[in-house]
Structure 1
Amino acid sequence: MVDAEMRRMSEDDWLRRFRSWGVRPSKSMGQNFLLDTDIVERITDAADISSGQLVIEVGPGMGILSEALLNRGAHVIAIEMDDDIASRIADHFRQNDNYTVIHKNAATTDMSAITNGRTYDVVANLPYSVATLIVRHFLESPHPPRRLTIMVQKEVAARMAAGTGDLSLLTLATRLYATPTLLFDVPKDAFYPPPKVTSSVIQLNVRETPLVDSEARSRLFTMATIAFQQRRKTLLNSLSRGLSLDKPTVADELDHLGIDPAARPQAISLESWLALSESTVLQP
């Protein structure tokens, strides 16, 4: 539960803290700071953090989520790229031995190094502009998290969790490594400044091993990139052109794999994409 002191802090209290720090939200960094303690409680409930657990938070902002995680006994590593916020948040929590600030870009940080190889979870309100880049960095890391409970733009969350018929490159990039679950939406007025879009909290339970090996993943992303760049075209047309293969060869291989050559890339299942990744015929 969010502690009593934190509950007593109104949105105005959090704004006063923010202004006392002399920090202004950066549009270029996609900074929209969460103010709603009820939303924070729902996020930490969903994350199911236990005492002593290591948690990475990206973009701690004013520390509202950090405080909730610390109240639950977590050891928090906060990664913050903004110079002013990194300095202010480190000073604010300087007396808490369970809080560490890493002044780096989360999309390029070595997670094994900063965690010393320990098991960890990610709980964060991610900046919209770099959310997908950060998520992919975590999922593709040699030392990935056990689970991510993250807030992103609603449209991005929907694409991560999409099923057959609405697949995208982001769906594949997510589902190869994790099982996504959409949790709840977050209104614009829960933030300062309010974003122009609705947010969603999504949980990604990371697989022990990706669904296919590294070579097959490379083949899959090559084909998926080609196909989704021309998502209105059939797989037959986009793959034959993109892979420089004749149409009869591509059609025969798709038929062999049980995939309709006339299908669009978003319309075939994850299993079909996995089958494509193992093809020795459909190679660039």
Structure 2
Amino acid sequence: MTTIKDLLSARGLAPKKSLGQNFLVDHNLIKKLVDVSGVQAGELALEIGPGTGVLTDELLSRNVRVIACELDDGLHALLQDRLAEQISSGQLTLIKGDCLDGKRALNPGLRRLLRESSGQSDYVAGAAPPTPRRLDISTPSFRLIANLPYGAATPLMTNLLLDYPGCSGLFVTVQKEVGDRFGALPDTPDYGPLSVIAFATTHVERIAKLPPECFWPRPDVTSAMIALRRRADPLTPRLHELADFVQAVFEQRRKQLGGILREKFSVREPFAYPEGVSPKSRAENLSPRQLLALMLAVEGGTSRTGAVS
């Protein structure tokens, strides 16, 4: 913590609460995060919100290639000076700006770099998603390893899960409530769209609970270290459609599905519900596989007039 304070004070900088700047200062936890990720020398890591570069240092010391994106002008300049040698050698690529372009896409420059590393062509934010296909991660190109700014965590992680099959895993510290939602099971209060998308794409593991004293300045909330490892075979290649469907049926999580499907998808009874699902079921009680089966049933029953019978 003293080192971080010294680095900031030397440049007249201070943590900005508006940017969610709570620096992870327990070096044992920093090492643990990198260890859990399994990243090897020569492989590529994406770091969002590198701050003063403590986690970046750990990655670089292991000869990992790093793409780091920093929004704060002062911290970006600090990193440019402090890590100039690694930037010059090409081991570190440093981007200045927001990692997100709105809520549904990554920063265009970051998106281009990641898609190039995945061997994929770029596409414009807001365009139709890529043609559904089996996602091949036999040659994963990068993994996210980061102490994420709280405000960016959910949209960033969701984008990587949905649009970047080359991302082999997400190894992050986040607000505990966010971590709980990604790893929640049916019939629990935290279960929702994030849980379904995480299950559809990854194996989720809770690594550790991090009290406020692990950070400087201390946040008002407890944090968590979690690992999301990409599945070799996702639940479905149609992840965007599944994400939109579960978002719709979870908007009123306690409402019975019969009413939701009638209002949002023009479903008419009698309707062939999947096994274990009925008009009286609620989204919060259904497994991701059941929700996918329900989505397919709704699509399969759609008539040319848009009604489902």
TM-score, length-scaled by structure 1:
0.87
Please give the alpha-carbon distance, in whole angstroms, between the structure 1 residues aligned to 2:241 and 2:59: 40
Give the aligned partner of residue 216 of structure 2: 192
Instruction: Return the offset for 1:210.
Output: 3.5
Q: Does 1:91 align with 2:81?
A: yes
2:152 to 119, 130, 146: 130
In 2, are the aligned partners of 1:123 and 1:149 still within 8 Å (CA)? Answer: yes
Give the aligned partner of residue 117 of structure 2: 117
Question: Which consecutive unaligned segments of at least 5 residues does structure 1 have?
Answer: 1-10
Please give the alpha-carbon distance, in whole angstroms, between the structure 2 residues aligned to 1:152 and 1:227: 26
| Cα separation, partners in 2 of 1:114 and 1:226, compared to 1, 3 Å | closer
In 1, are the aligned partners of 2:7 and 2:52 still within 8 Å (CA)? Answer: yes
1:28 to 6, 10, 18: 18
Question: Which consecutive unaligned segments of at least 5 residues does structure 2 have?
Answer: 101-105, 119-140
Give the aligned partner of residue 17 of structure 1: 7
Of 141-150 and 117-126, deviating more is: 141-150
**Residues 230-249 of structure 1: CA deviation (Å, up to 9, x unaligned):** 11111112222222333x23
**Residues 158-178 of structure 1: CA deviation (Å, up to 9, x unaligned):** 110111213201112222222
Runs of 4+ in 1 over 4 A off after TM superposition: none
Give the aligned partner of residue 101 of structure 1: 94
| Letter in structure 2 aligned against 1:200 | A
In 1, are the aligned partners of 2:174 and 2:224 still within 8 Å (CA)? Answer: yes
Instruction: Return the offset for 1:218.
Output: 4.4
Of 147-156 and 27-36, deviating more is: 27-36
**Residues 166-200 of structure 1: CA deviation (Å, up to 9, x unaligned):** 32011122222222111111110111211111111
3-state SS, counterpart of residue 137 of structure 1: helix
Please give the alpha-carbon distance, in whole angstroms, between the structure 1 residues aligned to 2:277 and 2:152: 34
Give the aligned partner of residue 225 of structure 1: 247
Identity value in percent: 28
Please give the alpha-carbon distance, in whole angstroms, between the structure 1 residues aligned to 2:107 and 2:233: 21
Please give the alpha-carbon distance, in whole angstroms, between the structure 1 residues aligned to 2:296 and 2:275: 10
| Cα separation, partners in 2 of 1:113 and 1:225, compared to 1, 3 Å | closer
3-state SS, counterpart of residue 231 of structure 1: coil
In 1, are the aligned partners of 2:253 and 2:284 still within 8 Å (CA)? Answer: yes
RMSD: 2.0
In 2, are the aligned partners of 1:90 and 1:100 still within 8 Å (CA)? Answer: no
Q: How many residues align?
A: 268
